[in-house]
Structure 1
């Protein structure tokens, strides 16, 4: 019985090592920087419906996006028609500033959703 257990253990270990090698080879399938599924994306512009607090806003999203419409201020950027996002460099803050007039409910913003890091 002990020989059967050792044989089973050895077979499982060999199978795990083969699977690990296969997964390692698959991990290098995409050159660095070409796999875009988990890279940050920006959508918008969308209207800010209301401010919850200094860190959270409710954004008017299309229903077909199937995601929460509440966002942290770090994920919201001011929208500019030319597509350029302006931010102060070295502002001392780790997150971008909230929209200029955060009390106004009809502000156009493009929100940025970050997937993965």
Structure 2
């Protein structure tokens, strides 16, 4: 009787098309790569938005001590964000190559 129940459950799980029960390791790797790629693209867009806002003057740093605003910290922050943007672009390129190698061209 127990064998019949287990067998029935195995058939039921095998019949579930498109669930995580039928995912191969390659499918998981492809999905992980594509999701990482999408996350890095969103992160890069956010960084670029912050850089643009700093350049247009929407973001201003005010010192806590009440002294005059210095452009130096803002320039350092913009430089840091530019470096981060460059690093994200390199990572995005790497992930696009990996996604294409795994499953063909990446579709946004």
Taking structure 2 as the reference length, what is the TM-score of the superposition? Answer: 0.29
Pick the structure with more helix per residue: 2
Pick the structure with more strand per residue: 1
